[in-house]
Amino acid sequence: MTVSVHTNSSAMIALQNLNSTNKELEGAQQRISTGLAVSSAKDNASVYAIAQGQRADLGGLKAVTDSLNRASSIADVSLAAGESVSDLLNQLREKVVGAMDTSIDTTSRNALSSDYKAILGQISHVVENATFNGSNIIDGSLANAIEFIANADANSVITLSVRTIALGGPIITLSAGTDLTSATAASALLGDLDQSIDNLNANLGALGSQAKQIEGHLSFVSKLQDSITGGIGNLVDADMAKESSRLQALQVQQQLGTQALSIANQSPQQILSLFK
């Protein structure tokens, strides 16, 4: 081997090895600091592209969750209002049956009629205030059902039907202007009231079924989000235990490489001993 003061092959080899170790050490430190084995496209282009696609789907599912949560809230508010109206209709029936008694005096009948009208007013207030996020699906203000997105591509929907449970509507046929001024009037109201109660209960059952469907789909979307998140982690997450061991090994290699370079740089000094 040629001994030269111009070319130090040992030092160049040691420097190449040290640079390689430093580069690997830098990569290990980045994986540890980010927690990701693939944090950019240059780490692994194909895996990064797949992970980004799954992250896009995950973002879409977040929008689905927001939409379904809104649907669930509207359904819950509507159900609460419907159940309150159902209770009020039962109270109305008590007043109507009481007013059918021909033996009560005028004062008692007027009191029953006053209570009856007050309950009708309560029903109207409940229906009018059953609003969430500007939507009321039970007061007849909406002509069409509300559709909520059900998947990440927004090409599938879950529908929440509208229904009118206001007074004088197709479900509750009683009008706000009725009263119990006579036993005959009360008798005429009873049939309509019983039909209204049956109509309302059937519609509450249908609304409850839709609310249950929304709740079930929300649960599915949540599980799907967890699965996709786990899948992305499997693709890009770093094995921290492995990286910790790798980091320590590379640090030792770096120290040894530095020492090897230092020794190689001393080689030209040996030439001076030849000229003593």
Q: Using an 8 Å Cβ cutoff, are 221 and 64 in contact?
A: yes
Range of the domain at 226: 45-236
Same domain, 207 and 271: no
The half-sphere exposure of 270 on its side-chain side, counting CA atoms within 13 A, is 9
Same domain, 130 and 83: yes
Same domain, 83 and 132: yes
We report the CATH number of the domain holding residue 176 as 1.20.1330.10
pLDDT on residue 1: 59
Q: Is residue 40 part of a domain?
A: no
Same domain, 99 and 22: no
Task: Average pLDDT across each block of 10 residues of the chain; the chain has 276 residues. List them in order.
Answer: 72 87 86 86 90 92 95 95 96 92 88 92 95 93 92 92 93 88 88 94 95 95 94 90 87 87 79 74
Query: Which contacts of 83-88 are long-range, i.e. CB under 8 A and separated by 24 or more positions?
Result: 83/204, 84/126, 85/123, 85/126, 85/127, 85/165, 85/172, 85/200, 86/197, 86/200, 86/201, 86/204, 88/119, 88/122, 88/123, 88/126
Same domain, 100 and 217: yes
pLDDT on residue 82: 95
Same domain, 158 and 141: yes
pLDDT on residue 54: 92
Same domain, 183 and 108: yes
Same domain, 177 and 260: no
Same domain, 213 and 262: no
Q: Is residue 3 part of a domain?
A: no
pLDDT on residue 276: 66
pLDDT on residue 3: 67
User: Closest by alpha carbon to 68, among 212, 206, 208?
Assistant: 212
pLDDT on residue 39: 85
Same domain, 23 and 92: no
Number of structural domains the chain divides into: 2
Q: What is the DSSP string of the chain?
A: ----SS--HHHHHHHHHHHHHHHHHHHHHHHHHHSBS--STTT-HHHHHHHHHHHHHHHHHHHHHHHHHHHHHHHHHHHHHHHHHHHHHHHHHHHHHHHT-TTS-HHHHHHHHHHHHHHHHHHHHHHHT--BTTB-SSBS--SS-EEEE-STTS--EEEE---B-SBTSSSB---TT---SSHHHHHHHHHHHHHHHHHHHHHHHHHHHHHHHHHHHHHHHHHHHHHHHHHHHHHHB--HHHHHHHHHHHHHHHHHHHHHHHHHHTTTHHHHGGG-
Q: Is residue 266 part of a domain?
A: yes
Same domain, 14 and 72: no
